[in-house]
Each structure stands twice: as C-alpha cells, then as structure tokens.
Amino acid sequence: MRRSELIFTAVLVPLDFLMLLGAAFAAYFLRVNPWIVKYRPVLFSLNLPFEKYFLLVFGVSVFLLVVFALVGLYKIQPVRRPLEDFSKIIIGVSAGIIVLVFYIFLRREWFDSRFLVLAGWFLTIVFVTFGRYLMSKIQTYLIRKYQFGAHRVLVIGEDYISQKVIQNIKKEPSLGYVLIKNLIEPNIEEVRNKVKNPGVDEIILADPDWPRERVLELIDFCEEKHLVFKFVPNLFQTLTANTFVETVGDLPIVELKRTSLDGWGKIIKRIVDVSGAFLGLILISPFFGLIAFIVKWDSAGPVLVKLKRISHGKEFNLYKFRSMIEGAEDLKKFLWAYNERKDGPLFKIRKDPRVTRVGRFLRKYRIDELPQLINVLKGEMSLVGPRPHQPDEIAKYQKHHKKVLAIKPGITGLAQASGSSELSFEEEVKLDTYYVENWSLLKDLKIFLRTLVILFKDRSAC
C-alpha cells in the first residue's frame, strides 16, 4: 500500500473525532437555542452543565472511534467511497448510542434529555459522513489533478479481462490508478525498461493464460525491484498465501504481499519509531558533545561518518560515530584475505586493524550506532528491522537473500538479537526473512528487550 493511502486513512481518525465533537456541540446548542427553549424548557442544565457535557462528549467520542474501528471504517483502501462507509457509520453510531442510552438508564442522574440523544445520533451521522465525503473529494481531486497517491500501473495482457481492467482504470480515476503502459507479451527486459521510464509502482497481470514459469519470473522481478505485484485470480490461487484482495471496477484483483508489515501495522510502527527516536535523541543528546570530543581527540577525521546503505531500493547515508581511521573503506580491499565471513558477501574481521582505540570502546557498547536515530526520524530506518545493507553486498546477494529488503532496515533486529556476527550469513538471512514475513509489534518489543539484555554481554562488534 502506498504511503498516501496510509496518510489519508490515518487522518480519518482525528477528522472523525472532530466531527463527533462538532455533532455533539451542535446538538447541545440546538437544544439550548431560545427558539426551542420557548416551546420546550431545558430541564437538564443543573445536572449537566456545559463543562460536564464536554467531558462526557470527549469520552463518548473516544468510545465511538473504537466502535468505528471495529465495524471497519478505518480499513485502508486506495480511495474511500462515502456511500460505502455510510452504512458502517450508521451501524457504528447506532451501536455507540445504544450503549450510551443503556448507561444513561443505569446512571439516571446524568440527564433526561431525549432530544440530545436523538439529535446527537442524527447529527453525528451527518457530520461524520460529511467529513469523510469532503476527505474523499480532496483525495480524488489530488489523484486526478496531480496524480498524488495514484497507483502508477503497468498492465500485462490483451485478452478480454485485460481490456476490462484497462477500461475500468481509465473510466474511473477515483479508483486511484493511473495506467502507464499496457504490454501484451513482454519479456522481463521489456518490463524492466518500462518500469524505469516513465516510472511504475505496480504491475497487474490481467492475462490468466500466462505460463507459470513466466509468472514466477515476473514475481521475482517485482520482489527485486520492490514493485507491487497484482493479478486477476484464476489459475494461480496457490500463490495467494499472503494476499490482499481489492476490486478494480467489478473485477477482483489479488495483491501478493512480501511482508505482513502493512496497513495500520505500518502506521503504528512508524509512530513508535518516531516517538522512540525523538525520545532517545533527547535523552542522549547531552552526551553527544562528549563523544564527539573523544572521537576527535583520539584520531584525525570527522566525528560522524556517512555510510552508503539501501532502504526500499533507495540509497541513503547511514550515520555513525566514527570508530575507524580516516579512509578505512578504501583499505577494505587489502583486507579481504582476512575476512572471517566466508559464507556470504559480508565483510567481518574480529580484530579489525582499522578500528581506533576509542572506536573499540564505542563498538563494544554499540555507542557508535546511536546517530542512527537520526536515520529513523528521517524515515530511512526503523528501530527494529533487518540489518542495513551495503550496495556492494546486495550486488552479490542471491534471489532468496533479497527477501530481507522488503522493509526498512533497523538499528537492531532479530538476527542481531540472536547471535549477531556469530551467525553464518545464511542463518542471519533466515532470521531476518522470518521477521519480514511474520512481523508484529509484539515481536518488535521482544527483540528490543532482548537487545537490551545482550547489550553488555555480546562483544562481537569489537
């Protein structure tokens, strides 16, 4: 799922909350309006002053957000349709109001205004529906006008189903798709060229008669290039062990998932990353000056080094406190004969001569990795994830190794917390692949706690 879909869905939570408050206040002020009071005097003003009403509304609104989540109003979709949400809004609001009425019945001292309950129910449905309708229009406008958040797709096939998919995409821009190209019988090189220029996010295989070998080749290509692969389900149901099903017009489209980290899980993980990195930088920032002084005093060179790494197929600079002599990367080629990691493309020497005296101390307690919190804030890394990957190492990866590239790398991860450099490269890949395919917040918490436990026991980074 695209980041824009996550953003638009996440925005719905505070938007619905504001609409719930607005509906409640509208009901209150409508009830105390002099024109209505003239015919029906207010009887609850003593038991329910506005300040108490505000606290009540705040709590009920939070409760209704939970109900909305349970009925599926925060399910992440390419584009939201207000009419599809309308029935769920009615169900969610009605269920919440029923619970509230039952509570009022048990706690009769609150108030006895049926008008507030009925008006609140009606206005809540109106306000929430209107807010979501407005958000849907904004999202559709951004897709049509600027292609913001649109899925840029390459459709493969020329049969009736393929043409139906293309027709639905062109006919309904509100679906969130933009057709870049339709290829009939392409080979991988032709697909590769079209993906590069003018740029493709997803590939939809609409032709159900494609040979199995070519389908698998296309899946491998999409995995390598971090492209979303979707197909019209027919003969290839056995490939859908981890899938997401949506519709393009009246056609079902199946998306193969490379990882369980998606949807609200991705949103929550990002919130945890930002909060943790921000808090961590605040707590350790007073020590940054001292560390910088020691690094600079010990040896010539910059305090921070920028190391090339790959995240989601894009190169970025990973920040670390310098623990090696200046120009250490240029000396690696002369030390390959002493590499202790013979089973893969990684380079590791336990007593690396390039490491400085202070650098050994920084590595011993993983202090050199603290600046990576900046990478987490920038969205290039996560607190927990597979190890960061170097471009020259990735160039030597086999196909099954590249599965660990499906999500952002982490400051710590399952492999680091399960033996670190004592593991073989294949064992490390298996652990990181397991993490990618079976991610959960609970696993992240366990890995983080395990990292804290071994922090002062594992000295393999020295």
Judge if 204 and 335 occupy the same domain: no
Rounded to whole angstroms, the Cα distance separating 198 from 187 reads 18
Judge if 22 and 159 occupy the same domain: no
**Residue 138: predicted pLDDT:** 86
Cβ contact 435:414 at 8 Å:
yes
Q: Which two tokens stand for residue 298?
A: 């010990």
Judge if 35 and 184 occupy the same domain: no
Judge if 355 and 423 occupy the same domain: yes
Judge if 278 and 239 occupy the same domain: no
Judge if 141 and 223 occupy the same domain: no
Task: Assign residue 187 the CATH number of its domain.
Answer: 3.40.50.720
**Residue 421: predicted pLDDT:** 62
What tens digit of pLDDT does each residue of 286-309 get? 888 899 999 999 888 899 999 999
Q: Of 435, 401, 404, 402, whose CA–CA distance to 418 is shortest?
A: 435
The residue type found at 219 is I
**Residue 43: predicted pLDDT:** 57
**Residue 235: predicted pLDDT:** 47
Number of structural domains the chain divides into: 3
Judge if 135 and 8 occupy the same domain: yes
Q: Which domain holds residue 353?
A: 264-454
Residue 238 inside a domain? The answer is: yes
Judge if 221 and 156 occupy the same domain: yes
State the SS3 of the chain: CCHHHHHHHHHHHHHHHHHHHHHHHHHHHHHCCHHHHCCCCCCCCCCCCHHHHHHHHHHHHHHHHHHHHHCCCCCCCCCCCHHHHHHHHHHHHHHHHHHHHHHHHHCCCCCCCHHHHHHHHHHHHHHHHHHHHHHHHHHHHHHHHHCCCCEEEEEECCCHHHHHHHHHHHHCHHHCEEEEEEECCCCHHHHHHHHHHHHCCEEEECCCCCCHHHHHHHHHHHHHCCCEEEECCCCCHHHCCCEEEEEECCEEEEEECCCCCCCHHHHHHHHHHHHHHHHHHHHHHHHHHHHHHHHHHHCCCCCEEEEEEEECCEEEEEEEECCECCCHHHHHHHHHHHCCCCCCCCCCCCCCCCECHHHHHHHHCCHHHCCHHHHHHCCCCEEECCCCECHHHHCCCCHHHHHHHHCCCEEECCCHHHCHHHCCHHHHHHHHHHHHHCCCHHHHHHHHHHHHHHCCCCCCCC
Phi, psi of 232 (to 5 degrees): -80, 115
Cβ contact 243:255 at 8 Å:
yes
Judge if 127 and 179 occupy the same domain: no
**Residue 47: predicted pLDDT:** 56
Residue 362 inside a domain? The answer is: yes
What tens digit of pLDDT does each residue of 236-273 get? 444 444 556 677 766 777 777 778 887 788 889 999 99
Residue 459 inside a domain? The answer is: no
Residue 172 inside a domain? The answer is: yes
Where does a domain end: 256, 285, 319?
256
Where does a domain end: 146, 178, 200?
146
Judge if 137 and 160 occupy the same domain: no
Where does a domain end: 194, 227, 256?
256
Residue 24 inside a domain? The answer is: yes
Rounded to whole angstroms, the Cα distance separating 147 from 201 reads 12
pTM of the model as a whole: 0.74
Judge if 241 and 123 occupy the same domain: no
Beta pairing class for 151-156 and 202-205 = parallel
- Regions of the chain with pLDDT less than 50: 46, 235-241
Judge if 155 and 298 occupy the same domain: no
Residue 428 inside a domain? The answer is: yes
